[in-house]
Amino acid sequence: MIKVIVSAIATNEYSVCTMNCFKKCNTIIVRRYSSSLQLPPCEFVPKKYNGPSYENLKNIRKDNLNPALLTFYSKPLALHQGYKQWLFDIEGKRYLDLFGGICTVSVGHCHPRITKAVNEQMSTLGHVSNIYYHPKIHEYAKRLTEKMPGELKVAYFVNSGSEANDLAILMSRVYTGNHEIVSFRNCYHGMTYQTMALTSQGSYKYKLPTLPGFHHVMNPDIFRGLWGGSKCRDSPVQVSRNCDCGEVCNAKEKYLDQFRELFKYTLPKKSVAAFFAESIQGVGGALQFPKGYIKEAYDIVKESGGLFVSDEVQTGFGRTGDHFWGFEGHEIIPDIVTMAKGIGNGYPLAAVVTTPAIAEALSRANHFNTFGGNPVASAVGITVLDIIEEEELQQNCKNVGNYLLKELEKMRDEFEVIGDVRGKGLMIGIELVEDGKRPLSSEKFLKIWEYCKDAGLLIGKGGADGNVIRLKPPMCITKEDARFGLEVMRLAFKSLN
C-alpha cells in the first residue's frame, strides 16, 4: 500500500508521484508550486531533520566559519539531504539540482552503490597511505588509465582540482626544465597560492605580488570577444553574430595570432613549461573556443618546448556527451590531464594522469601525498566509473543536453535578455544581457536566480561579470526534469518585464 503525504507549507503542497528512482519506497512525495508548476515526481522521502535551527546555523556561519565563504541567495539555503538529482532543505522542501554541487555530483546525490562501496571499504581498510601496497589504489589506477588515450598511463592521486593543477605545474617545470606557464584570461584553475597565479579572474585575486612565470593570453570568446560568429563553435547552438568565416575560421586565426604574439614578444625562446586550458571554461561561464583553436595552440606550445595540460575538472567523465574527456573534442592528446569534481561524485578525490616519461621526472626527489588514492577514495572512484558506464550516463548527457540546448536556443530568440546559449552535453551556459550585449545587472540577474530557487530549481552562476547561468546537473537528470527547468526559467525571464 502506498502512503501519500499531503501537507501544506507556505504556498506549496505535497501530492502523489510515480517514478523509477534508485529504489522503491512505500511513501511518495512531491511538491506542487503556487505558480501551477509541479516538480517532476520522485519516490523518495527525506529523513526528518533534527539538527541546529536555521538561526543557529546562521550564527555559527558568522562566528566560526571562513567569512569569505560565498553563499547563494538572499536567504541562503540550508540543505539537509540529497538523492539523485534532488536536494532537500531542513524543512523538507525539494529542489531540482541543475548545478550539481558546482559540477561535482556526476552520477547523482547519495547514489546507493557509492554509499555501499564506501561502507564496505571503510569496514575493511580505511587508510594506510601509499607506503604499503593496498589493492584499491592499484585497481583504480588501472581502471582510470584505461580510459585515457595514447601514453597517458601513469596516475597521481590527490584530493582536489586545485591540488591537481598545482602538481601539474610542478611536473611540467621539472620535466621541461622551463619555468613559464601560459593560460587563458577568464580561466579558473584553483585556489592554492600557485594556482591563483594560474587563474585569471580578478575576483579570485588578492592584493599580493603575483608569482613569477605566469602569463595570460587573450581569451578566444566568440560571443563577447573581438572576433567570432555563427560558424565558429563546436556546439549544437551557435552564437547569433554575423560570421565571415569560410572553410577556415577567421576568428580562430585572429585569436591564434594573439597567442603567437605572446610567444614572440613576451616569452624567452624555448622557455615555456606548459600551457593550461580547460576544454570548456567552467567558472568562466561554460565558454567555448573557436573550432580548431586548441589543436593549433597545442602545436605552437609543443614547438616552443612546452607541455599541454588539459584541465578536465569540469569537462571530464562523460559530461560533454560526445566524448569521455573534453579534450577529445579538440582532437588532441595532452601531455598531462588534471581531473577532480565528478571523479568522486562529491567525495574529495582528484588525479593527475601523464606519460611514463613525464612521471619519471618527479622521481628526482621524493614525492608523497598522505591521502591521495586512499582505499576509500579509490573505491569511490572505481564505483563512479562503473555507474557512468552501466547507467549510460555519457549518452544521457548528450541526449538531455542537446534537448536543453536546442530549447534554450528557441528561448534566446524569444527573450532579449538571453544573449548567448552555449555548451555541450550537460555543461551549458546562458549568458544574460541588456541593451543588446551589456552584461545583465546583478540586480536583475539575482531576481531571475531567486525566482528559480523559489520555484524549486537550483541553477549556477558564473562568468567574469557574474551574468551567466551555469547548468551542470547530476548526469542522471531526465528530459522531464529538463522540461521543468526550462519552464521555470521561461517564467523567470518573463518576470523581468
Are the C-beta atoms of residues 446 and 486 closer than 8 Å to each other? no
Judged against a pLDDT cut of 60, whether residue 16 lies above it is answered with no
Beta-strand pair 457-458/31-32: unpaired
**CA 343 to CA 354: how far, in whole Å?**
16
DSSP string, 163-202: HHHHHHHHHHHHHHS--EEEEETT----SSHHHHHH---G
Q: Are 105 and 345 in contact (CB under 8 A)?
A: yes
Average pLDDT over residues 17-44: 55
CA-based nearest residue to 81, from 42, 35, 122: 42
Which residues are 311's β-sheet partners?
278, 338
Q: Which one is predicted more confidently, 338 or 16? A: 338
Range with the poorest average pLDDT among 25-29, 242-246, 345-349, 393-397: 25-29
The residue-averaged pLDDT of 37-54 equals 94
Distance CA 442, CA 446 (A): 6
Those residues whose C-beta lies under 8 Å from the C-beta of residue 397, and which sit 6 or more positions away, are: 318, 319, 320, 321, 425, 426, 475
Q: How far apart are CA 300 and CA 154, in angstroms?
A: 25
Return contacts of 289-292, CB within 8 angstroms, 24+ apart.
289/220, 289/222, 289/255, 290/220, 290/222, 290/228, 290/232, 290/233, 290/249, 290/251, 290/252, 290/255, 291/232, 291/233, 291/234, 291/249, 291/252, 292/249, 292/252
Burial class for 276, CB neighbours closer than 10 Å (0-12, 13-18, 19+): buried
Non-local (6+) Cβ contacts of 378 within 8 A are 136, 137, 139, 140, 157
The arrangement of secondary structure in 115-390, i.e. its CATH architecture, is 3-Layer(aba) Sandwich (3.40)
Q: What H or E segment, with its residue span, contains residue 32?
A: strand 31-32
pLDDT tens digits for 72-117? 999 999 999 999 999 999 999 999 999 999 999 999 999 999 999 9
Which amino acid is present at 166?
A: D
Interval 246-255 mean pLDDT: 88
Sign of CA dihedral 14, 17, 23, 25: positive
pLDDT in tens, 111-147: 999 999 999 999 999 999 889 999 999 999 999 999 9
The three three-digit cell numbers of residue 460, written as one number: 549556477
For residue 425, pLDDT beyond 70:
yes
- Predicted local distance difference test score (pLDDT) of residue 92: 95
Q: What is the tens place of the pLDDT at every residue in 172-216?
A: 999 999 999 999 999 999 999 999 999 999 999 999 998 999 999
The answer to whether 30 and 72 are in contact (CB under 8 A) is no
Query: How far apart (Å, rounded) are the C-alpha atoms in residues 394 and 388?
Result: 7
All three cell numbers of 305, joined, read 618546448
Q: Within 104-177, where are the H helices? A: 112-122, 135-145, 161-176
| Contact present, 288 and 422 (Cβ < 8 Å) | yes
With CA atoms as reference, report the closest residue to 275 among 154, 165, 145.
165
Torsion 172-174-176-182 (CA) sign: positive
Whether 15 shows a pLDDT value over 50: the answer reads no
The sheet with strand 8-9 has its strands ordered as: 8-9, 12-14, 31-32
In this prediction the pTM is 0.92
- Alpha-carbon distance of 69 to 438, in angstroms, equals 28
For residue 479, what pLDDT is reported? 98
Predicted local distance difference test score (pLDDT) of residue 36: 66
For the chain, give the number of residues: 497
Q: What is the pLDDT of residue 11?
A: 37
Asked if pLDDT for residue 168 goes beyond 70, the answer is yes
